[in-house]
Structure 1
């Protein structure tokens, strides 16, 4: 399960009229800790923004993130459903927060509905709000194999050949 951190940065941007203005932006990073989130945001943004300051890192509780390539605006959606406790038989209201990229509130609603249509319990989308998140950086596993490593099948084949001889 992904652990998302909301990272806020501040930097000076030159406007079209040549005036320097302070800009605040938010980015979402999938990381294992605060330190990892800070490291990753510097790695991701240092090539894009020359001189910025990280002003805040906080965890953001999200159940899921639905990314669509055709939209740049992120909407925070609250989805509610009722669950029944097996032991006590009592109903319990569950609230999940999800992010979806869309062009409008209507499209965000439709995309959440589409993404959750396989849910077995009925759900209610109670809240959709636009966020100021510029971009998300999901975790991507780097599978770098050291140069001195070889596939196990190759090593076993060599050992089998040695035992035959």
Structure 2
């Protein structure tokens, strides 16, 4: 199975506030896509049912997330920066390789717990460099063949 490429797509639209007034927002979403063009098409398809009125895709950029730990009960997304530590056998020098993992959780503690749970069974030594809440509104997995929305 090919590795996922995650694109952050920003969607600009007028969001109706609780008091009934409209406010211009520019909200980030994450989509799994093969190209910038596909990412833009996917985000339009995903948000169209939820946004009334006009909207535009104001930005599409590739992200460096290597993995996503899902939790359907969570309402926030956390960016976990983790360093994997390897030892060069010839020189005996420690080498750190940074990875970026997206974790669904309801709070900071939940993000750390969910991350650690997801890392169980990994043989590699690692250390968490940082955990930060993202502004992501939602994350959309790739649609596999046969899962089209037609």
**Which whole-Å CA distance do the structure 2 matches of 1:61 and 1:15 have between them?**
33
Q: Which one has a larger percent helix, Structure 1 or Structure 2?
A: 1
Partner residue of 1:40?
42
Structure 1 residues 33 and 86: alpha-carbon distance in aligned structure 2, compared to 1, 3 A threshold:
farther
SS of 1:133's partner is: coil
Alignment of 1:84-99 (within 5 A): 84-86=87-89, 89-99=92-102
Q: Specify which of 73, 79, 85 is matched with residue 82 of structure 1.
A: 85
For the Cα contact (< 8 Å) 2:86–2:125, is it kept in 1?
no
Give structure 2 stretches of 5+ with no counterpart: none
Aligned ranges 1:59-138 → 2 under 5 Å: 59-86=62-89, 89-138=92-141
- For 2:15 and 2:85, the matched residues in 1 are separated by 47
CA positional deviation for 1:36? 0.5
Which protein has the larger Cα radius of gyration, Structure 1 or Structure 2?
A: 1
**Can you give the 5+ residue segments of structure 1 that lack an aligned partner in the other structure?**
145-165
Distance in 1 between the 2:111 and 2:134 partners? Answer: 12
The Cα of 1:119 is off from its aligned counterpart by: 1.1
Partner SS state of residue 134, structure 1: coil
TM-score, scaled to structure 2? 0.89
Q: CA deviation at 1:102?
A: 0.5
TM-score by length of 1: 0.81
Distance in 2 of aligned mates of 1:89 and 1:59: 35
Three-state SS of the structure 2 residue aligned to 1:43 is: helix
Q: 2:32 aligns with which of 16, 30, 33?
A: 30
Aligned-pair Cα RMSD in Å? 1.5
Deviations along 1:4-59, one digit per CA (max 9) or x if unpaired, are 00000110122233322111211000000000000111111112113211110000
State the shift of 1:89 in Å: 4.8
Aligned residues: 144
1-structure distance, mates of 2:14, 2:32: 26
> Are 2:28 and 2:135, in contact at CA under 8 Å, matched by a contact in 1?
yes
C-alpha separation between the residues in 1 aligned to 2:16 and 2:65? 34
In the TM superposition, structure 1's runs of 4+ consecutive aligned residues that sit over 4 Å from their partners are 86-89
